[in-house]
Every structure is written in C-alpha cells, then in structure tokens.
Chains A and B, each alone.
Chain A
C-alpha cells in the first residue's frame, strides 16, 4: 500500500464549535488521524463526542472552523459548494440511521437514485441480490420493515461504488438481529467492492468487526487503534 493510500483520508487538527459567547460549545477540539484506502473504520464515542459532526465534515456537508480534511490528497476546504457537491457525488455514499427513502419510488428505483450519480455504478440487480432484496424490489418503502428499508438505503449508497461509504449510526433504529444483518451487509460490501467505510456508532461491540477503531470523547481522539483481530459481523454480540 502506497503512502497516499495509507493516508487516503486524512484529518488534520480539525476544530469545530457551535454557538457563541457563554453558549459556545467546542465539539471538535483539534482532531488528527488518517484512514487507509479500503479500511473499515469505526468512529466510536458517546453522545456529544463529536462523531456525527466529524462525519458530516468528512462528508463535506459541514465545515470545520479550522484544520482540514483531505481525501486522496484533495483538501475539502479548498473546494467551493459546487466542487463539494461533485466530490460527494463521485466519491461518497451515505447511510443514515433513518433510511430517508423516496416514498413513491420502489426498491429498485430508490437504488437507481444512487446509481444515477455515478460514472461507473455497480449493477443494480447485483446490488439488490447482494442485499437480499430480490423479492422486494418492486415494493414501496412503506411496504418494507425497518431493516429492509435500511438495506435499500445501503444499496442506494453502495451502488454508486463510492470511494468512501459513510454510515451514521446505521443500526441505531434497528433491533439486534436486524442490526447484525445490516452490519454484515456493510462488511460484505466493504470486502466485495473495496469501499472505504467510515461508520459512526456508539455501540462498542461494533468495533470488533472494524480494521480501524477511533474512539472519540469530548471532541478529541482518545484512542486510535488498528484492530488485528477483527471478527465477522455475524459473530458480534452485545
């Protein structure tokens, strides 16, 4: 792995605060780390640790007060809004806690919404098969369970074949069994399609399936560990 691939995602002295005066709250207080290409990275931390803010800044939908994020050598702070949109379009896939599917498009069409954005999308049907949604591909979101909807949302993000798959508490609204299935799918995509995965979670157990675990607290990185003994998602317990 080249040096650039090792520093595929680089976070450098990232600071971010909200509010002013006495109400000012420092959410990120000088954060530094890097993520290698193809890595499954988990950002772990309790509520208010700044993990979602960090994810949003990496995703280019929020901006830091200082410091920078660079992806494959390109610094996001040098990009204007248009360039940031193109950056997200070409390089990122997003999965949120809430699935945010388009209600009057069926499963296949919702996945096509992601495919449309990519110059080299994956085969939509293949993604549907990978996600185990063949029997549901013509159903509308309101005809699916929460887990199935989250699969569709992962499909929409993965089908772009993004460089980075950003997952913000993807299992936050799901039960144990479904959560493990979803984590297994993300793992599967990471291995099958080679996307770098950045997953924000407060669930400690998930760190065991990651290549790289970054623990955050009070806006700083408390631990930055490479996991040599990662286990498959299916074996996770919590």
Chain B
C-alpha cells in the first residue's frame, strides 16, 4: 500500500499555492539562470578551445624593432642563447681594427711624406739650392712621382707589419679587457649564466601588423585605433561571424564586437589610415577575443580599439610603421603553467641574446598564457558562473531555511497529530521523509523547469551577454553533465540537508511530548524579562522574541540583498565617477610617445608647438606581493606595470620638486592609494626583460589617478637609466602636435585612453546593473513576503483571539507589522553600511590583482536609493500583510487545534 501521507503533498502545495508559486518562480529563475550561464559558458568555452586549434592560436609572440633577418629567425627557432661575449668581442675587434688600420694608415702616410720631404731637402742642400719656393716645388714634384710607390714599399716593410700587428694585438687586448670588465654586469643583466637554461625549439611565423586610425563615421576625426593584419597570415586566424575575408585592396573585415558597438555593418564604408574601405566581413580573431589594445590595459575597449584584416597588397599601402611581430609555436608543448613559464623564460633569454647579436631591438615578448586579449574572455566566461553559482546557492540556502522554518511551524502545529502517528507506529524516518518531501519536490520542480529554461532561453541570453561583450566565435549548445549536477543535485542536496537537520532535530522528541505539545527541549522556567514599556510595545517585543528564527533569516536576506544593491548601484556610479574625472587625470591633453628621437633622415624630431614639453619615460614592474583572496582575471599577475617619467625643470604639466636627489621620486596618487605608500617608503622597480632593479624613495605625490606612475627630474632620469644627454621619449602637450609625422608616434595617450575602461565596463555591465537593482528588490520583497506570511500564519490563532477581544485591524496590524518594519529598516541601514565597506574592501582586493587603479564610489543619491529600494519592496509586501491580517476570521481562535 502506498503511504497515504503522500497525498498530503499535492494538497499542501495547492493549499498554499501562492507561497509555493513564489518559491518555484524564485528557483526557476535562479536555477535557470545558473543553468543557462553554465551551459552557455561550456558551449562558449568549447567553441573558444576548438577555435584555438583550428584557427592556429600562437603559443606566444615577440616583436622586433626592425624586420628580423632569416638568420635571426633560424637562431630563435633553435632556441639557443647567442654567445654575447663572442659577439661583443668580435664587434669590438671590428671597431678596433678599423680604428687601428685608420691610425696606422695615417701614421704611415705621415712618415712617408716626411721621409720624402727630408730626402728632397737633403738632396737640395747638396745641390746648393736654398730657395724655399724651389725646394717646396722640388718636394711637391718628387712627392707626386714617388709617394704611392714609397707608401707601398713602406706598407710591405717588415717593420711596418710588425708595428701594425703589435697595434692590432694591443687593441684586441683592450677590447677583451673592456668586455671582460663589464662582463659581470652583462651576465647579470641578461642572466647568461643560468644553469637551468634549456633551449626551447619553436617555429616562428611572421605576424606583422600596423596600428592605424579608424574613422567609422567619416567625419574626418579619428574615432578609434585599429590594428590591421594581412589576410595572408598563416597563424592567429579569424573566424567570420558574418561576411567574408577581403579580396581586394579596398575591402576590409573588422572585429564584430567593435562593429556592433559603433554601428558598422557589412557594406558600410570606413576610413582606416586615411583610406576608404568597404566592410565585407565581421570577424573574431582567435587572439583577440577581447579587444585589449595593450596587454597591461586594465580593460578591453571594443569602442576605441578594433582589429581588422586587409589583403597583403592593401597592408603594404599603409604609411604607418610596420610592427614586426612574430608568432611562435613550441615544438614540444609545455604541459602546464609552470612548464609554460619555464619555456617562456628560456625562450626570452634566447630572444634577448640573439637580438643583441643580430643587432635588432626586442620591443615586446608575450607568451600566450599571459596574453589578456586571448585569455581575458575565457577566464571571465569561466569566472562568471562561479559567482552566479555561489549567489544561487546562497539564495537556495535562504529558501531552504524558509522551508525549514515553515516546516518547524507545521510540526509545532501538528504536534498532536505527529504524537498520535508516532504512538500508532509511524517511524521517525517516515515522518522525516514526509516533511522533507515538500521542499524536495518543490526544488525538483524548480530545477526541472529551470533546467529546461536554462538550456533554451537562459542559455541564449547568457551567450548573448558574452557576444555583447567579447569577440567570440559562434557556438553550439554543449550538453553538460556538470551543469546538471550544479543546478539540480547541489540545490537538492542543500535543500535536503538543511531541512533534514532541522526536521531531525524537531522530531527528536518522544511521541508523548508531541501529544502534550511539549516541544521545548529545555524548559524555560521564567519568562524573558522585557523593559517596562507600554503594553503594545511589550506585545511587539514578545512577537519579535517568538519569531527569532524567522527574523534571523529575514535579517540575513536583507543584509545580503542590501550588499548586492550597494554593488548594483555602486558599480555604475564608480564607473561614471571615474569617467567624469578622467579629463582631470591627464597631465596634458595629449601625451605623445615617440618611436625614436630622430626621423628617417637622422634629424631630431622637433615641434613648433609651443605647448609641447619633452619628457622621458620607461616602463618598469613593481612586485605586488599581495596575498590574493580574489584570483584576478585578466593580467592578474604578481607584478604591476609602472610608468616612470623624467620631468623637465619647471614643467607646466607635472609639478614635482626639482631639487630631488637621484633615487628620490614622486609617485602618482593612484600608486599611493593602491599600495598604501607614505613619504619615505622605498619602492623597488625592476625591468621586464632584464634582471635589473632600481630602488626609489617616495618623496612626494602627484595628484594623478589615471595611472600607476613614478616621477623624477629629467636629469635624474637620464643618470638613473643611463640615457644620453638630451634624449627624450616624447612630448606632453595641451594642443595637438601636427608637425611630426604620425608614423614616428609609438602611442598617443589622451582622455579616451583613460576612460576606455569605464566606457567598456558601462557598456558590458551598466544595463545588467540596472536590471539587477530591480531584480534584487523583487528578491527582497519575495523574501519578506514569505517570512512575514510565516509569522502571521503562526500567529493566526492569537490574531483571531485579539480580534475577539476587541482590537481593531489597524491595531493588530501595527502589533504584527511594526516589529517587522523595525527589523527591515534597521537591517537595511546596517546592510547598507556593511555593503558599502565590504565593497570598498572587495574592490580594493580585486584591483590589487589587476593593473591600474580604480576605487569604489557611491553617490549620495545611490546610497539613498539603495535603502529606499529595499524599503519600497517591504512597503509593497506590507500591503499584502495588512490584507492577510484583516482576513483572519474571529472563529479561528475558537476552533479545535487539529
């Protein structure tokens, strides 16, 4: 026979359908969302990972200042470190030999001339010729006739050869001594004596690009930077979401995300590098799934940065300089991240030494595993679900506790029935199973519907969120058993375990105790003492004490939602605040970093712009040394890129004390705030590609929030970094520099560069945050609805009784609703304060993992709104509560307990 208690379950569900409907909707939305995110994520990751193979994603890349010779590429492919000593010596020999030969030749010429002259003078003296003009004429005539033959004779003389050999030997010795004198420094700089060095063999492919200006609205003003690649590239290829690859020199294919953001469609024309192109394809480059222009950018920028493909012929027609970038592939793939790091380290040594030997400058080296543009999106896609899963589980746990409280109340209400059933022979297990069934069934219904929606509607939405943010390839749904576990098994387990614990504890009592309604484990001998307030207030306080478990859950829910509200209001605020202050964050409206200080003809790059002021800069790394509790995405490394500026005396752009000693620096306020530096602190910065570090003392601060930067007088800079006198890196200027050809600019930093992080974040998350604000209020309202319903239901009998006694509905409502209102308002305020400070801390911890600096900010309006939203949610619920209290009939108190 089937257990007849099973029949109670549908009746229970239908009997209290409003409550269960709210819970099921809640669960469907949460589970559906997590399931959708999870399936979307897995499908997307699968598409990304497949793309890495089919589109030949590099293992890393490096860039030389000049095009690498075939010999250099061959040497790199072998992976060996070059013999730098040998090179330095042979280069020294070469230079020394030239100098010796030149000096010897000059000396020989002088001696031959002198020999001829003295011989002619002696001959004249013998002949009695004393007239100096005659003698001079004789010398010239003799010199003309015999100089070359005499020189040749002298050259062939043993004496000369011996002298020359001696000179060479001496010069060579000097070269060797000079190299050896500096050898220890060189060895340390390039870490040449690394005993762990193992050559890493790679295959190298050309992957050149140019950085051009893009003008998509054709108004003659630069709208974005575009990195242009050739369609002939064999590696780091693109998948086409729409359209095709360019086929002639007037066609271009551009990144789909950028195109979508700026409203460019296939068939539109845009200007790139001053040339007009027709957009024929929207693509997603496998190495640019997020549009990070530079690897140390805090955020990608799909508005201000674009990647594009043109035909090889078209590529060659641009005027800007070619970036000689090369992609490499390991012959033997490193198995894990440690091995990847070791391989990259060894390869870098080979690159540095070979570039020295082949006289090329290594401008960039980036192993794929550190590449933001290809790792940011997958790591974000991966990280997203972890966050939403935790949120989902917290909410399921909250619902589980709501169930547990409901069931506790039901058990109390049904105590005598339970006592009778236990007395009749029902086992504890049967009753536990019975009371567990409802939450489990509700969770199963929620999970089933949630999963169906997860695989369809939510999955599409999740994928769309990714597509709205990243340049990802098209993907197909991938069935994920793990997603099923996360969205069904874990919520079920949570619901099961939390309720099991509560029900088992509740049913521990003997049947007799149930029959007697004696459900307290420990007997309270005295009533709780309460202050001598008015009767109504004491009554309210009793209600509060009576419902402590409900209020505990309510408080947890309110604080949780309020913290989330702080985030939903605070993030857009922080972005807007940062964006609004961006113009103030620049020292100058434009910061031009030059490729070199001379143009193609060897003339110094100068400008007639009166606003322009020279500066020096270099990029160093600061070891963060932070204990991470938030594993960073993006660069997420242990080092922070720091720009070090050398500032001219009396600079009108950056105010620092020019009387600083070497090693004394000012730092930007962002640098100070991020790492908490004070005046007098020491900062150690190191070079990225050489084992050299510098220690500086913080002497002051420059009010600059736009970057992590160090400032020192230009003279100090030149000494510290061993630059030539008069060298400079670029110009600060408030007016645009128009008299230097843009091909000499390495980068130009303006306001758009500073705000691109906030623009992108606002685009990716702004809408989501506004939606989140409303969803959170609904969530809070639903939570308050469920819990106040439980409180009122539990007190139906008392409410009915006080009605009989003559209390008015308004008085009763004030009795039962004011304690809840008090709790809601008090803990909304506490939750807000907690949320505000938690987010400041979390933001800080998060930003410590990232490059750059950006603080949490909430406007007064948002602060007030986050509290008002919650209270408005409660106000809506209290209307239902009032109606509910009014509807309780007076005969409730007169009924028998069943």
Residues of A within 8 A of B (CB): 56, 59, 61-62, 82, 85-90, 92-94, 96, 98-105, 109, 112-117, 121, 141-142, 146, 153, 156-157, 160
CB-CB nearest 3 A-B residue pairs: A89-B425, A112-B4, A100-B420
B423 contacts A115, C-beta separation under 8 Å:
no
B427 contacts A85, C-beta separation under 8 Å:
yes
B4 contacts A105, C-beta separation under 8 Å:
yes
Contacts of A101 in B (CB 8 A): 417, 898
Chain B 415-431 residues near chain A, CB threshold 8 A: 416-417, 419-428
Contacts of B416 in A (CB 8 A): 96, 98, 100
Tell which of B1, B2, B421, B425 has the most Cβ of chain A within 10 Å.
B425
User: Is B7 an interface position by the 8 A CB rule?
Assistant: yes
Tell which of B7, B422, B897 has the most Cβ of chain A within 10 Å.
B7
Q: In angstroms, how far is the closest chain A Cβ from the Cβ of B898?
A: 5
Per a CB cutoff under 8 Å, which of B425, B428, B510, B895 touches A86? B425
Interchain residue pairs with CB less than 8 A apart (26):
A61-B422, A61-B510, A61-B515, A88-B422, A92-B423, A93-B424, A94-B420, A94-B424, A98-B416, A98-B897, A100-B898, A101-B417, A102-B8, A102-B414, A103-B414, A105-B5, A105-B11, A109-B4, A114-B424, A115-B1, A115-B4, A116-B1, A116-B5, A146-B896, A153-B420, A156-B424
CA distance A157 to B420 in the complex (A): 10
A160 contacts B11, C-beta separation under 8 Å:
no
CA distance A99 to B897 in the complex (A): 10
Contacts of B69 in A (CB 8 A): none
A142 contacts B426, C-beta separation under 8 Å:
no
B896 contacts A98, C-beta separation under 8 Å:
yes
B417 contacts A100, C-beta separation under 8 Å:
yes
User: Is B511 an interface position by the 8 A CB rule?
Assistant: yes
CA distance A151 to B2 in the complex (A): 23
Q: In angstroms, how far is the closest chain B Cβ from the Cβ of A90?
A: 7
CA distance A102 to B15 in the complex (A): 14
Tell which of A85, A92, A112, A115 has the most Cβ of chain B within 10 Å.
A85
A85 contacts B425, C-beta separation under 8 Å:
yes
Contacts of A102 in B (CB 8 A): 5, 8, 414, 417
Contacts of B4 in A (CB 8 A): 105, 109, 112-113, 115-116
User: Is B116 an interface position by the 8 A CB rule?
Assistant: no
Contacts of B895 in A (CB 8 A): 142
Contacts of B422 in A (CB 8 A): 61, 85, 88
CA distance A98 to B896 in the complex (A): 9
**Which residue of the partner chain B has the closest CB to A115?**
B1
Contacts of A116 in B (CB 8 A): 1-5
**Which residue of the partner chain A has the closest CB to B15?**
A104
- Given A104-B8, A109-B7, A115-B1; A88-B423 close (CB under 8 Å): yes
A88 contacts B424, C-beta separation under 8 Å:
yes
User: Is B12 an interface position by the 8 A CB rule?
Assistant: yes
Q: In angstroms, how far is the closest chain B Cβ from the Cβ of A97?
A: 10
**Which residue of the partner chain A has the closest CB to B897?**
A98
Q: Chain B 438-461, CB within 8 Å of chain A: the 1/0 string? A: 000000000000000000000000
User: Is B512 an interface position by the 8 A CB rule?
Assistant: yes
**Which residue of the partner chain B has the closest CB to A166?**
B423
Contacts of A93 in B (CB 8 A): 424
A157 contacts B425, C-beta separation under 8 Å:
no
CA distance A62 to B512 in the complex (A): 7
CA distance A103 to B510 in the complex (A): 22
Q: In angstroms, how far is the closest chain B Cβ from the Cβ of A217?
A: 23
Contacts of B420 in A (CB 8 A): 94, 96, 100, 153
Chain B 1-32 residues near chain A, CB threshold 8 A: 1-5, 7-8, 11-12, 15
- Given A113-B5, A116-B3, A116-B4; A160-B417 close (CB under 8 Å): no
Per a CB cutoff under 8 Å, which of A61, A88, A103 touches B898? A103
- Given A98-B896, A100-B416, A116-B1; A92-B425 close (CB under 8 Å): yes
CA distance A100 to B426 in the complex (A): 14
CA distance A96 to B897 in the complex (A): 14
CA distance A116 to B425 in the complex (A): 10
Contacts of A103 in B (CB 8 A): 414, 417, 898
Q: In angstroms, how far is the closest chain B Cβ from the Cβ of A129?
A: 19
A105 contacts B7, C-beta separation under 8 Å:
yes
A92 contacts B896, C-beta separation under 8 Å:
no
Q: In angstroms, how far is the closest chain B Cβ from the Cβ of A56?
A: 6
Q: In angstroms, how far is the closest chain B Cβ from the Cβ of A23?
A: 12
Contacts of B426 in A (CB 8 A): 85, 89, 117
CA distance A117 to B898 in the complex (A): 21
Chain B 23-73 residues near chain A, CB threshold 8 A: none
A117 contacts B424, C-beta separation under 8 Å:
yes
- Given A98-B896, A101-B417, A116-B1; A157-B8 close (CB under 8 Å): no
Contacts of B12 in A (CB 8 A): 104
Contacts of A85 in B (CB 8 A): 422, 425-428
Q: In angstroms, how far is the closest chain A Cβ from the Cβ of B876?
A: 30
Q: In angstroms, how far is the closest chain B Cβ from the Cβ of A115?
A: 7
CA distance A7 to B5 in the complex (A): 36
B423 contacts A142, C-beta separation under 8 Å:
no
B423 contacts A94, C-beta separation under 8 Å:
yes
Chain B 638-663 residues near chain A, CB threshold 8 A: none
Tell which of A89, A116, A157 has the most Cβ of chain B within 10 Å.
A116
Contacts of B512 in A (CB 8 A): 56, 61-62
Contacts of B511 in A (CB 8 A): 61
**Which residue of the partner chain B has the closest CB to A111?**
B4
**Which residue of the partner chain B has the closest CB to A103?**
B898
CA distance A88 to B419 in the complex (A): 12
Q: Chain B 485-510, CB within 8 Å of chain A: the 1/0 string? A: 00000000000000000000000001
Q: In angstroms, how far is the closest chain A Cβ from the Cβ of B557?
A: 28
Contacts of A88 in B (CB 8 A): 422-425
Contacts of A98 in B (CB 8 A): 416, 896-897
CA distance A182 to B2 in the complex (A): 29
CA distance A141 to B898 in the complex (A): 8
B421 contacts A113, C-beta separation under 8 Å:
yes
Contacts of B423 in A (CB 8 A): 59, 61, 88, 92, 94
Q: Chain B 881-898, CB within 8 Å of chain A: the 1/0 string? A: 000000000000001111
Known contacts A96-B420, A157-B424, then 6 further A-B pairs from the complex at CB < 8 Å, ordered by chain A residue = A86-B425, A87-B425, A98-B896, A104-B11, A117-B426, A153-B420
**Which residue of the partner chain B has the closest CB to A153?**
B420
CA distance A59 to B1 in the complex (A): 25
CA distance A146 to B15 in the complex (A): 23
**Which residue of the partner chain A has the closest CB to B413?**
A103
**Which residue of the partner chain A has the closest CB to B898?**
A103
Q: In angstroms, how far is the closest chain A Cβ from the Cβ of B281?
A: 65
CA distance A104 to B1 in the complex (A): 20
Chain B 385-432 residues near chain A, CB threshold 8 A: 414, 416-417, 419-428
Chain B 660-705 residues near chain A, CB threshold 8 A: none
CA distance A100 to B896 in the complex (A): 10
Contacts of B510 in A (CB 8 A): 61-62
**Which residue of the partner chain B has the closest CB to A168?**
B515
CA distance A200 to B41 in the complex (A): 68
Tell which of A61, A105, A115, A121 has the most Cβ of chain B within 10 Å.
A61
CA distance A62 to B426 in the complex (A): 16
CA distance A88 to B510 in the complex (A): 14
Chain B 691-748 residues near chain A, CB threshold 8 A: none
